[in-house]
Amino acid sequence: MRAARLYRYDPEMNEQLRLEDVPEPTITQPDDVIVRVVAAGLCRTDLHIIEGVWKDILDPQRTLLPYTLGHENTGIVEAVGSGVTAVKPGDRVICHPLRTCGVCLACRHGEDMYCLNGRFPGLDSDGGFAEYLLTSERALVKLSADVDLVEVAPLADAGLTAYRAAKKAARLLPPGTSGVIIGIGGLGHIALQVLRAFSGARLIAVDVSEAARQRARELGADDVLAGGPDLVEQVKELTGGGAHVVLDFVGEKGVEQQAWQMLRKGGTQIIIGYGGRIEIPTVHMIFNEITVAGSLVGNYAELYELMDMAARGLVRVHVQRYPLHEINRAIDDFKHGRYFGRAVIVPS
Ligand SMILES: [Zn+2]
Ligand SMILES: [Zn+2]
């Protein structure tokens, strides 16, 4: 089968994925499932993997390369192991990004991302930029015939990450409160839709790009701001003293330091974007009793919930399609910001 594989880490990002013929995956475990990939979302994490940002975490022995990237996958079940009962060949599915063990305590709590024995196809093993993907029964959410497998592919990771953070925020945002979403890109525009559906709060969207701000208005933001050095003052004025919740989808370039300063007493900052460093005087934290929290992808149940919202049209992702053989063009377009939303690789 055809697959797009990474052969070399390259901080300069000149390295291209190589398109080549590799053996199709085979069933070896009772819970194995082979999925014929219909769509695989291209993610900033793929770029970071190529750059080598993840190599010490994912590949400490330098034995991983070459392998196939792609961790936002949808498709049709092709074959199943002897123990699989939840899906059958022909089923339309989206893949939770992690292959979890199901028996560790984290799995039993339903916290898939904390699984002690998890594998992450596309990060630590072959992923979905290929015709077929090997995953497991526990990772699969079945989709109805009216769900577009290409449009929902980015929800497997990008959408799920936005959903988990927005759901946490919604519990803190009843009517009469205000929430700020910083960064209305691939993740932020999904978080805004989820929050709009979940919460009666006043929602303030922040982005440096006018196109993104326009999109935020269309998606129901109550106020839209352009960011910049006086963002904290603007939010405090709009909210009469500060936001109850800030969702930070940027997490670097100084935004991470602005986010906690725009909270009111008792407020919560949820960090999704990363790269920067937060320094808060401890006296500020206790006097204002603020909370600063991280958020990591999402669990299986959250992916199920998000798929229900997508099927009912409550969440829509803006996608740009590329055939598998044009994956390097997709990566180049991503690097240069030539599309809005998410690129999706379509193998056949
Ligand atoms: Zn991703
Ligand atoms: Zn587990």
In a shared domain, residues 20 and 78:
yes
Q: How far is the CA of 102 from the centre of ligand 2 (A)?
A: 5
Q: Say which CATH number the domain at 219 has.
A: 3.40.50.720
Q: Please write the tens of the pLDDT for every residue from 97-152.
A: 999 999 999 999 999 999 999 999 999 999 999 999 999 999 999 999 989 999 99
pLDDT band at 348 (very low <50, low <70, confident <90, very high): confident
Q: Which two tokens stand for residue 264?
A: 């009111």
Per-residue pLDDT, 340:
80
Tell me the ligand closest to 139's alpha carbon. 2
Tell me the ligand closest to 138's alpha carbon. 2
Q: SS3 letters for the chain?
A: CEEEEECCCCCCCCCCCEEEECCCCCCCCCCEEEEEEEEEECCHHHHHHHHCCCHHHHCCCCCCCCEECCCCEEEEEEEECCCCCCCCCCCEEEECCCECCCCCHHHHCCCHHHCCCCECECCCECCCCECEEEEEHHHEEECCCCCCHHHHHHHHCHHHHHHHHHHHHHCCCCCCCEEEEECCCCCHHHHHHHHHHHCCCEEEEECCCHHHHHHHHHCCCCEEECCCCCHHHHHHHHHCCCEEEEEECCCCCCHHHHHHHCEEEEEEEEECCCCCCCCCCHHHHHHHCCEEEECCCCCHHHHHHHHHHHHCCCCCCCEEEEEHHHHHHHHHHHHCCCCCCEEEEECC
Q: Say which CATH number the domain at 327 has.
A: 3.90.180.10
Q: How far is the CA of 245 from the centre of ligand 1 (A)?
A: 24
Q: How far is the CA of 81 from the centre of ligand 2 (A)?
A: 19
Q: SS3 letters for 82-146?
A: CCCCCCCCCCEEEECCCECCCCCHHHHCCCHHHCCCCECECCCECCCCECEEEEEHHHEEECCCC
Q: How far is the CA of 186 from the centre of ligand 1 (A)?
A: 10
In a shared domain, residues 236 and 319:
no
Q: Counting beta carbons within 10 angstroms of the beta carbon of residue 282, is it exposed (0 to 12), middle (13 to 18) or buried (19 or more)?
A: exposed
Percent of the chain past pLDDT 70, that is, above it, reads 100
Q: How far is the CA of 37 from the centre of ligand 2 (A)?
A: 25
- How many domains does the chain divide into? 2
pLDDT at 14 over 90: no
Q: How far is the CA of 72 from the centre of ligand 1 (A)?
A: 6
- How large is the average pLDDT for residues 160-164? 98
pLDDT at 341 over 90: no
- How large is the average pLDDT for residues 165-193? 96
Q: How far is the CA of 114 from the centre of ligand 2 (A)?
A: 7
Domain boundary among 294, 312, 332: 294
Q: How far is the CA of 331 from the centre of ligand 2 (A)?
A: 33
- How large is the average pLDDT for residues 42-64? 93
pLDDT at 280 over 90: yes
Which amino acid appears at position 62 of this protein? R
Domain boundary among 256, 279, 294: 294
Tell me the ligand closest to 106's alpha carbon. 2
In a shared domain, residues 15 and 125:
yes
- The total number of residues written for the chain in this structure: 348
Give the environment of ion ligand 2: residues with CB less than 5 A: 100-101, 104, 107, 115
In a shared domain, residues 80 and 229:
no
In a shared domain, residues 146 and 7:
yes
Q: How far is the CA of 103 from the centre of ligand 2 (A)?
A: 5
Per-residue pLDDT, 106:
97
Residue 70 sits in which domain range?
2-157+298-346
Q: Please write the tens of the pLDDT for every residue from 240-277.
A: 999 999 999 999 999 999 999 999 999 999 999 988 99
In a shared domain, residues 45 and 87:
yes
Q: How far is the CA of 42 from the centre of ligand 1 (A)?
A: 7
In a shared domain, residues 266 and 313:
no
In a shared domain, residues 85 and 177:
no
Domain boundary among 275, 294, 313: 294
In a shared domain, residues 46 and 132:
yes
Q: How far is the CA of 139 from the centre of ligand 2 (A)?
A: 12
Q: Are 189 and 316 within 8 A, CB to CB?
A: no
Q: Lowest mean pLDDT: which of 96-100, 285-289, 336-340? A: 336-340
Q: Which two tokens stand for residue 61?
A: 């022995």
Per-residue pLDDT, 339:
85
In a shared domain, residues 11 and 146:
yes
Tell me the ligand closest to 105's alpha carbon. 2
In a shared domain, residues 149 and 34:
yes
In a shared domain, residues 100 and 212:
no
